């Protein structure tokens, strides 16, 4: 079955393409590589032993219709294509509203026109803000978004809720990802941090590789056991498999629309650094710095619903994730 994957050359999208192909699907990538590079496509080819169908087009443009015309037998779409840098979204909100919302409404419009119902969307734990009760469940109240990026995720979720309210012939699953980390076991694909990394783990691997002098831990005075912030870090391969499980759920007629995709375990920044050092036998140069503005103190997921309904549960641990992230950094070092 053919599955359209917008943003399929990106970090989570590329890992999902691998898992889709392994599960017998035929992924069709739409990605103009605005936040990615050719290495991801060649990495996919080396893992899968064949070239994956790829359209280098803007998912927010009219060109997207060509994919629906070329493939009248599409069985669903997984929508990753978006900008994701929280800080940049504060500086350039229009860039985020335009791309993230337009690409989503354009894709959904075409899905309705061509009667492609199965839709899996990359939402984010950012829609919860700092929750009052932990762990967060899918019924935890969404707080007002803390960034334009977060707002685009809420709006894209709301668009789906509005469509369903209006009786649209759509079967959606919104996956609220927690913090994806790690890379494919082959080290042929992984997270490409173009410019200064936005997220912790690429900063860690770049520091370990000597590309950055040191890493700053943003605060050790939070109300957590070691004082640093807590997140639910999920191996990207596990997260990729959740998308395959979501498609299978939709094919069986599943009706629940929102699922948390995390591990159910919180880990602190300092735990991440120490685990990275231990499993890779590397000393990291880091210092404790001030808090980063906008950071929430702690969040982790309750993943009972996704386990019960989709039969999906994270299998891989922090150690595997942090080893694979370092191996991917070696691939990048060799390449650039
Ligand atoms: P990424 O930047 O690696 O991948 C996004 C891909 O989409 C890139 O390859 C980019 O070139 C492509 N793209 C963006 N806009 C496009 C457009 N208009 N047309 C065609 N291609 C376009 O990001 P990622 O980490 O893989 O994230 C994927 C999705 O998951 C995003 O929607 C992101 O908001 C969401 N998400 C990510 C995280 C995270 O921490 N990585 C957490 C929660 C949610
Ligand atoms: C993780 C922890 C930092 C860098 C963001 C988005 C969220 C979602 C996931 C998309 C925090 C600490 C980081 C550094 C540090 N993305 N840190 N030093 O902030 O949990 O979430 O990515 O939807 O929406 O907001 O992820 O990787 O930036 O930070 O101490 O150099 O690492 O303070 O506690 P975050 P992150």
CA 274, CA 272: separation in Å to the nearest integer?
A: 6
Annotated active-site residue 149? The verdict is yes
| Residue 130 scores a pLDDT above 90 | no
Domains and CATH numbers, the chain: 2-184+233-263+301-315 (3.40.50.720)
pTM above 0.95? yes
Residue-averaged pLDDT of the chain: 97
Structure-block tokens of residue 206: 């770049």
Using one digit for the tens of pLDDT, what is the confidence trace for 111-129? 999 999 999 999 999 999 9
Ligand 2 atom 33: the closest Cα is on which residue? 218
Q: To the nearest 10°, report the CA torsion of 194, 197, 203, 205.
A: -20
Residue 268 and residue 291: Cα distance in Å, rounded?
14
DSSP E strand boundaries for the chain: 2-6, 26-30, 53-55, 74-79, 118-124, 171-177, 179-181, 215-218, 230-231, 233-235, 258-261, 267-268, 286-289
Question: What are the b/e assignments for 251-262, b being 16+ CB within 10 Å?
Answer: eeebeebbbbbb
Question: Is residue 156 within a helix (H) or strand (E), and if so which, with residue range?
Answer: helix 148-165
Is the pLDDT confidence value at 83 over 90? yes
Summarize the confidence of residues 201-218 as an average pLDDT. Answer: 97
Q: Mapping DSSP to helix (H, G, I), strand (E, B) and coil, where does residue 16 land?
A: helix
State the chain's maximal CA–CA distance in angstroms: 56
Q: Per DSSP, what are the bridge partners of residue 162?
A: none
Query: Is the CB of 80 inside a 6 Å radius of any atom of ligand 1?
Result: yes
Expressed in angstroms and rounded, the spacing between residue 122 Cα and the centre of ligand 1 is 8
Pick the catalytic residue: 96, 149, 233, 249? 149
Closest ligand 2 atom, residue 126 Cα: 24
Q: Between residues 196 and 262, which one has the greater pLDDT?
A: 262
User: What is the CB neighbour count within 10 angstroms for residue 336?
Assistant: 8
Tokens of 108: 């959904």
């Amino acid at each position: 079955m053919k599955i359209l994957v917008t943003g399929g050359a990106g970090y989570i999208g590329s890992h999902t393409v691998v898992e889709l192909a392994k599960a017998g699907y035929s992924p069709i990538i739409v990605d103009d590589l605005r936040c990615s590079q050719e290495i991801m496509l060649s990495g996919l080819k080396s893992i899968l032993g064949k070239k994956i169908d790829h359209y280098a087009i803007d998912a927010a443009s009219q060109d997207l219709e060509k994919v629906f015309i070329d493939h009248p037998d599409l069985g669903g779409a997984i929508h990753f294509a978006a900008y994701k840098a929280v800080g940049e979204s504060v500086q350039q909100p229009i860039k985020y509203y335009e791309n993230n919302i337009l690409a989503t409404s354009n894709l959904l419009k075409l899905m309705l026109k061509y009667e492609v119902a199965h839709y899996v969307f990359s939402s984010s734990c950012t829609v919860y803000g700092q929750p009052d009760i932990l762990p967060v469940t899918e019924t935890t109240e969404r707080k007002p978004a803390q960034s334009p990026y977060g707002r685009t995720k809420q709006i894209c979720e709301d668009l789906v809720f509005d469509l369903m309210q209006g009786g649209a012939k759509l079967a959606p699953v919104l996956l609220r990802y927690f913090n994806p980390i790690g890379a494919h076991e082959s080290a042929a694909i992984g997270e490409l941090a173009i410019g200064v990394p936005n997220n912790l783990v690429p900063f860690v691997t770049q520091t370990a590789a000597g590309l950055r002098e040191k890493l700053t831990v943003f605060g050790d005075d939070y109300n957590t056991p070691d004082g640093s912030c807590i997140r639910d870090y999920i191996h990207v391969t596990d997260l990729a498999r959740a998308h395959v499980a979501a498609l299978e759920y939709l094919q069986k007629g599943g009706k629940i629309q929102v699922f948390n995709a995390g591990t159910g375990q919180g880990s602190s920044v300092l735990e991440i650094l120490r685990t990275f050092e231990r499993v890779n036998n590397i000393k990291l140069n880091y210092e404790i710095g001030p808090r980063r503005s906008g950071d929430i103190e702690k969040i982790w997921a309750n993943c009972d619903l996704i386990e019960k309904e989709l039969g999906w549960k994270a299998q891989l641990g922090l150690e595997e994730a942090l080893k694979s992230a370092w191996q991917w950094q070696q691939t990048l070092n060799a390449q650039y």
